[in-house]
Amino acid sequence: MLKTNLRTLLILPLIILGSLLVVPSLPSAHAATGIVCLAPNGSTTCPTPPVSIAGNVGSTVRIAVVVQGSDNLNGFDITVLADHTILKPVSVDLTGSILTSPISVVVECLQGVLIAGSTCLSTDTIDTAHFAAVGGSLVSGNGLLFTVVYQVLQGTQSTPVDFQTGCPTPSGTCARITNGTITPPTETTQAATFSTPDFVLSASPTTVTITPGATGASTISASSTGGYADLVNIAVSGSTLPTAPTLS
């Protein structure tokens, strides 16, 4: 009888120890609330305060989608919103993304047109760039997720670049971070604005070689963008050794 009781006492601590060892593997009940933001090309952190991103009409501009202060993650599902008459989404780019290989594209939908993956959603419109992808493992919730590439169609003094709404997230914003759990972390969002310069300067020719005692000419032109109509004052200066040229 004594041996039986002793065996029971020895087994009981092992059961208790085993239960303690499995507790750390359970997911945390309090997920960190991070921020998903729009930032200038190449950014890996969210700017404070939100920024205005500039670009010229006819050029392409790259806008970074960045996460900061979130739980560990292995994917995202994000829809960026901008006026398509000003910014036309032409592609998305995973270069520099914190997602680890192999990366699987779940959906890429630009202006409501499916480029890759399963299907576009009802929240995908002519003004949106919807991109969802999953990486090979969990990574820290800080850094670049992906970049949206836009073509600048016309000038603007300021137009918002934001996240689409109407998605099944706690805030309704279409910016979801995934980490393999049933309830992914809740994120806040930070938008940006886009603007084009009032005018663009050009020179023809751009380089003038002048020998001593000679003259040279270059025509400086100012082209209005975004409907800008006002006087432009241009000051020029030049220097060389041993004597600066005279400018007029």
State the DSSP string of 167-228.
SSSTT-BSEEEE-SSSSPPPEEEE-EEEE--SEEEEEESS-----TT-----EEEEEE-TT-
User: Structurally, how many domains does the chain consist of?
Assistant: 2
| Pair (165, 103) in one structural domain | yes
Most confident of the following: 12-26, 47-61, 222-236: 47-61
Domain enclosing residue 181, as ranges: 34-195
d(CA 248, CA 243): 16
pLDDT at 7 over 60: no
| Pair (212, 171) in one structural domain | no
* More confident of the two residues 232 and 21: 232
| Pair (171, 225) in one structural domain | no
pLDDT for residue 182? 74
| Pair (202, 92) in one structural domain | no
| Pair (170, 78) in one structural domain | yes
pLDDT at 104 over 60: yes
Does residue 136 lie in a domain region?
A: yes
| Pair (145, 237) in one structural domain | no
pLDDT for residue 239? 59
Backbone φ and ψ for 196, nearest 5 degrees, come out as -115, 155
Counting residues of the chain whose pLDDT is more than 90, the rounded percentage is 61
Does residue 14 lie in a domain region?
A: no
| Pair (109, 154) in one structural domain | yes
pLDDT at 177 over 70: yes
| Pair (185, 238) in one structural domain | no
Residues 152 and 59 sit within 8 Å (Cβ to Cβ) = yes
| Pair (182, 226) in one structural domain | no
Tokens standing for 155? Answer: 């000038």
pLDDT at 211 over 80: no
pLDDT for residue 25? 32
| Pair (112, 150) in one structural domain | yes
pTM: 0.73
> What CATH number does residue 144 fall under?
2.60.40.680
Does residue 26 lie in a domain region?
A: no
DSSP state of 2: H
Q: Which among 130, 126, 62, 134 has a CA at the least distance from the CA of 98? A: 134
The pLDDT-based confidence of 241 (bands split at 50, 70, 90) is low
| Pair (208, 120) in one structural domain | no
Does residue 21 lie in a domain region?
A: no
Does residue 69 lie in a domain region?
A: yes
pLDDT at 203 over 90: no
| Pair (179, 240) in one structural domain | no
* Average pLDDT of the segment spanning 140-152: 98
Domain boundary among 177, 195, 213: 195
Does a cis peptide bond (omega within 30 degrees of 0) precede residue 49?
Answer: yes
* More confident of the two residues 119 and 22: 119
Residues 51 and 39 sit within 8 Å (Cβ to Cβ) = yes
Does residue 139 lie in a domain region?
A: yes
